[in-house]
Amino acid sequence: MGKALSKMMSDPAMKEMMRSQQKTMINTMYGSLFKELNLSPEEKQKFSELLLDQQMKTMEAGMGLFEEGGLTSVAESVSAQQKESEEQLKALLGEERFTQYQEYQKTLGDRVQIDQLRQQMETAGTPVQEGQLGQLLALMKEERERTPPPISQDPQAAFANAEKMLSGEAMENQMAWQEEINRRVLERAATVLTPDQLKAYEQFQTQQINMQKLGLKMMKGMLGRQKSEK
């Protein structure tokens, strides 16, 4: 499995396709930040390219999970790449706008969920207004700041935390924390959403937590099989 993934990532056509997909994702994930930072067309293009390069390097480094050194090697590689990327971003944006970027990064996971929620609610016939989505995002941020996760969810620390996440106790603690955050956000969301929207949001939360559990289980299984093959 690991060798097959590595081979796919080394294929030029596959890499170009994945780069195109990641470019679309970055425009979606960082679209509002581009506006907040008031970037010039040239700055926006350069900023997008730096983010895209960073994402691709992280994905390529991730293939090292299935090679000698595993998680430790990948964490070190990603850490070095992230440091270099942040230096380039800081040089482009300047101190103040780079700080805005860092703050935005902290809520990136929630922003992705908000965008997925928007699409799902529209499909279900219970569309959510931009103002409601903004309030939901604020609720998520407040609850996470009130009770930080057992393991950091900073995207830049994902690989460094992977080994901890894949241990049974840490995984259970993280999932229990996420379920409690979801419960508190859902409770407060009753003041933001209509009854029908709230019901749809609860279903969305359940889907998300189940997907997270499945993803962690699959990753743990893949790494376990890889170790047994060595």
The number of folded domains in the chain is 2
pLDDT for residue 171: 76
What's the CA angle centered on 114, arms 211 and 110, to 5 degrees?
70
Same domain, 91 and 147: no
Instruction: Assess whether 164 and 86 both reside in one domain.
Output: no
Q: Are 4 and 64 in a shared domain? A: yes
Q: Residue 55: which domain range?
A: 1-106
- pLDDT confidence tier of residue 222, bands split at 50, 70 and 90: low
Examine the domain organization and report whether 2 and 101 are in the same domain.
Answer: yes
Q: Could you tell me which residues come within 8 angstroms of residue 103 by beta carbon, excluding any fewer than 6 positions away?
A: none
CA 60, CA 6: separation in Å to the nearest integer? 8
Nearest Cα neighbor of 53 from 84, 76, 74 is 84
Q: Are residues 132 and 65 in the same domain?
A: no
Q: Read off φ and ψ for residue 193, nearest 5 degrees.
A: -105, 155
Q: What is the pLDDT of residue 58?
A: 77
Among 106, 135, 160, the domain boundary falls at 106
227 domain-assigned = no
Q: Which residue has the higher pLDDT, 150 or 36?
A: 36
Shared domain check, 101 and 22? yes
In a domain? residue 36: yes
The answer to whether residue 114 is domain-embedded is no
140 and 50 in a single domain? The answer is no
Residues 133 and 101 in one domain: no
Q: What percent of the chain has pLDDT over 90?
A: 39
pLDDT digits (tens, 9 = 90+) for 171-212: 788 889 999 999 999 999 999 999 999 999 999 999 999 988
> Do 139 and 85 fall into the same domain?
no
Q: How many CB atoms lie within 10 A of CB 68?
A: 7
